[in-house]
Every structure is written in structure tokens, then in C-alpha cells.
Amino acid sequence: MVNKKKYIYISCGFILVLLATIVYFSYFSQPSSFLTEEMLIEEINKTFPKANANQILEVFDVSEKHKYVPFITGEDDYGKSFWVWDKYKWRLAYIDTKGRPYIWKINKNDPASYHLVWNIHPDDQVKKGDFYMIRDRGYRTTEGQNKVYYPRVQVQRTISFEENAYGVLKIPHEWATYVQSIKDTQLAQQSKFDAFFNEFSVEQQIYFSWMPLNEASELTFPKRSVNGISYSNGDIDVDFVMPIDEMDIERGHER
């Protein structure tokens, strides 16, 4: 009887150690070396043949476990690929065959992890982009039926495409701080009933836009960089950065 109990304890201990090892290597293991350019092209085309990648432009380390890889296709389109270290291997999480700007939310709950990524086609002659974070003016009704007004917020950052029409940039600290403050305020004020809708509400109120500009600083349409086809494989948060027109910008609000 004693030996049987001892055997059970040893077996349970072995199982716990085995499970702990599996969990560690699945979720907490350090990333291995990244793929070579040849391997990247092969994996992109195997995963999503419509991408037809044939040239890797660069590999950007967005974080230790996230990489952004812009590429050129066989049709001379300029695409984007997003890679994540997941369960002890590099996983191709998202592909877009065009290079219009995206916001990549590495951690959706942490605005400081948000990054702008882009790969603008040279034929579009976009020399720079004015990027905006905007919250339109409006009001909300509290639980006590009081209406709380909030003013328009519009902050702007210009990114030059003169040297490289592709790249990645963490959103400015000021932007991240503001988004986090809105999240925190709503979390403090909301009831248990509407807690579920907090994230959706924030994303409705705050949005990211851009204005593509040519050499004369005039608004231009990047027709070779839009309307691509995309592929998603797993949990990843990427959002379009929507184009914005001059009439939608309120001059005097830029910061």
C-alpha cells in the first residue's frame, strides 16, 4: 500500500514537471534566431501563395517577439508581413500585399506598444505623410443622466519617406499617454454593466489617420499602396490607418 502511494506521488510529480516544462517552452521560451531572407520568402508564399513574395526589403525588430518584414511581390507590389514568436516558433501572423499604413497593437491593452508600419510604393511619389491621432468633440451620458462634453483632440506627426518608403515607428509617447488616460477614465467611471464595452468605446472615440503628401506637400492618392489582399493566421491586432482629407483637419489643433 505504501509503495502504491509512493508510486502515485512520483507519477503526479512527474506529470506536474512535464506540464510545467510544456507551458514554459510554449509561452515563455526565448525566441530563436529569425528566418533568413530565403526562408522568409518561402514561408510567405507557402502560407499565402497569392502574396508571391520575391524580395525582402528589411527585417524590423518591433519587440523581442514581434517582427515586421516589408517585401516586394512578383507583380511589383509592396507588401507587409507580421511575425510573432508563439509556442517556441516564429509564426507568420498577417500578410497584406499592399503597403498602406497600419497600426500594429502589440498589446491591445497597452497603447505604449502601438506601432505605425508602412511600405509605400515608390510609384506613388509620396514624399511624406502627416499622421494624426484624433478624438472628435462630443459628449457622453453618465449613469446619473448627466451629459459630459469633451473637446476635439488632434495631434500630428510628420514622417518622411524620402530615404525609405517603408518602416516602423512606435507611436509618440504623448499619443500613447492620451489613449491610456481615456481608457483609465472610462474604467473608473463605468458600471459593471458596460465594462464589456469599454475597449470598443475607446476605439470608437479615438482613431488614427494619415494624409499622403507629394513633393510639393500636396495631398496625393497612393493608388499602388492600397486595395491589397490580406491573410491572417491567429491572434493579432492590426488596424488600418484611414486616409483623411484636408477639410477634415482643424488647423490650429495640431500639436
Q: Evaluate if residue 17 carries a pLDDT over 70.
A: no
Q: Evaluate if residue 153 carries a pLDDT over 70.
A: yes
| pTM of structure | 0.82
Residues 35-51 as b or e (16 or more Cβ within 10 Å = b) = beeeebbebbbeebeeb
pLDDT digits (tens, 9 = 90+) for 114-133: 999 999 999 999 999 999 99
pLDDT band, residue 185 (cuts 50/70/90): confident
Residue 244 lies in a domain: yes
Residue 192 lies in a domain: yes
204 shares a domain with 148: yes
106 shares a domain with 7: no
Q: What is the pLDDT of residue 190?
A: 62
199 shares a domain with 169: yes
Residue 47 lies in a domain: yes
Helix (H, G, I), strand (E, B) or coil at 49: helix
Give me the DSSP letters along 91-132. Answer: EEEEEESS---EEEESSTT-GGGEEEEEE--GGG---EEEEE
Residue 255 lies in a domain: no
Interstrand relation of 138-141 and 147-150 (parallel, antiparallel or unpaired): antiparallel
Q: What is the pLDDT of residue 24?
A: 46
Judge contact between 131 and 159, C-beta under 8 A.
yes
In the numeric block, the cell 491573410 is attached to 231
Mean pLDDT of 79-97: 97
Report DSSP state, residue 247: G
pLDDT band, residue 187 (cuts 50/70/90): confident
Q: Evaluate if residue 194 carries a pLDDT over 60.
A: no
Q: Evaluate if residue 138 carries a pLDDT over 90.
A: no
What cell does 1 get? 500500500
187 shares a domain with 98: yes
pLDDT band, residue 202 (cuts 50/70/90): low
Closest to 198 (Cα-Cα) out of 180, 171, 221, 224 = 180
Number of domains in the chain: 2
Domain limits for position 8:
1-30
Of 186 and 68, the structure prediction assigns the larger pLDDT to 68
pLDDT band, residue 163 (cuts 50/70/90): confident
Residue 253 lies in a domain: no
183 shares a domain with 93: yes
**Hey, which of 5-9, 81-85, 232-236 has the most confident mean pLDDT?**
81-85
81 shares a domain with 144: yes
Instruction: Report the chain's mean pLDDT, rounded to a whole number.
Output: 86
